[in-house]
Amino acid sequence: MKIIRNPAKMTAWSREQYRTGKTIGLVPTMGYFHEGHLSLMRMAGRRANLVVVSLFVNPTQFGPNEDLSAYPRDFDRDRELAAGVGVDVLFVPDVAAMYSSWEKTTVIVRDLTDHLCGADRPGHFAGVATVVTKLFNIVQPDLAVFGQKDFQQLAVIRRMCTDLNMGIEIIGHPIVREADGLAMSSRNTYLDDSLRESALSLSRGIDLARRLAGAGERSVKQLTIAIRAFINSCPETAIDYISFVNDRSLHDVTVVDEETVLALAVKIGGRVRLIDNSYVLDGS
């Protein structure tokens, strides 16, 4: 596995592969790999001849009071894990290589970023869209794989690629969960045993909503009341949002149907913000 740090060298490598007829799959990450990340890499390997994984903790998607400095990092571990699943290139630029002091361009996707996480994290999705555009321009992949745990991010990237005629296939990978149901996240490392139990309120809240909907409850108001009561009954939980949205527009709905996604954001122990989501009805 090659380690490339310079963007120009990354682009040169990709162009050389294209001259030999190879296809490239990109998995953008911020590192500290877990099985969820590795699943994305494996999927990219099944869909393309070569796999590039970018490892870049992007400062522009963190707010002033968020965990940029504390975000977990372990390059040696990440390198070994990526090599173990057959990644061809680990692209590891530094901040100076990705952002110059005189940059004036930001990529903004309207409407889709006004809801869910975007409502409480101003600038977050502009940071995501901008860095992903940069990565696409540098790596020049045929396809890119993103996890469905970040459902809003996936919708934003798909819309951006369509609107800007990028010609890159965007593939969503289903959420990878721990044995107890907790959605895999690098931020799970912040959880001690008691906080982890409270963190299960997200996946269990989703399971509750799906059971109630399966029994015939379609009112978003009633489902929200039930989920809110359940999550609030768990210690050290603070709900950021409980949203039932259309899977394409991300607009709130009042009645559940086959296109309805339940998205949750909950702070655990006052500082660990976790997200989760699922379609509400079976077969969606």
HSE toward the beta carbon, residue 221, CA cutoff 13 A: 1
Residues 166 and 219 in one domain: no
pLDDT at 284: 60
User: What is the model's pLDDT at position 6?
Assistant: 98
Q: Is residue 282 part of a domain?
A: no
Same-domain check for residues 31 and 113: yes
Task: Tell me the CATH number at 213.
Answer: 3.30.1300.10
Chain mean pLDDT for the chain = 96
**Burial class of residue 196, CB neighbours in 10 A (0-12, 13-18, 19+):** middle
The predicted pLDDT at position 149 comes to 96
Q: End of a domain among 130, 149, 173?
A: 173
Candidate list 37, 115, 124, 173, residue with the active-site label: 37
Check: pTM over 0.85? Answer yes or no: yes
- Given a cut of 90, whether residue 162 has pLDDT beyond it is yes
pLDDT in tens, 228-271: 999 999 999 999 999 999 999 999 999 999 999 999 999 999 88
User: Can you spell out the DSSP letters for 144-211?
Assistant: EEEETTSHHHHHHHHHHHHHTT---EEEEEPPPB-TTSPBP-GGGGG--HHHHHHHTHHHHHHHHHHH
Q: Are residues 192 and 166 in the same domain?
A: no
Are both 141 and 226 inside the same structural domain? no
Question: Which of 173, 200, 217 delimits the end of a domain?
Answer: 173
Q: What percentage of the chain has pLDDT greater than the value 70?
A: 100
Q: Using the predicted structure, report yes or no on whether residue 283 has a pLDDT greater than 80.
A: no
Q: Is 251 a catalytic residue?
A: no
The answer to the question of residue 281 being in a domain is no
Which tens digits make up the pLDDT trace of 84-137? 999 999 999 999 999 999 999 999 999 999 999 999 889 999 999 999 999 999
In this structure, are 20 and 87 located in the same domain?
yes
pLDDT at 67: 80
Residue 74 counted as domain residue: yes
pLDDT of 63 reads 86
Give per-residue pLDDT as tens, 64-78: 878 888 889 999 999
Identify the domain containing residue 191 by its residue range.
Answer: 186-276
Q: Are residues 118 and 194 in the same domain?
A: no
Number of domains in the chain: 2
Examine the domain organization and report whether 62 and 139 are in the same domain: yes
Non-local CB neighbours of 69 within 8 Å, separated by 6+ positions: none
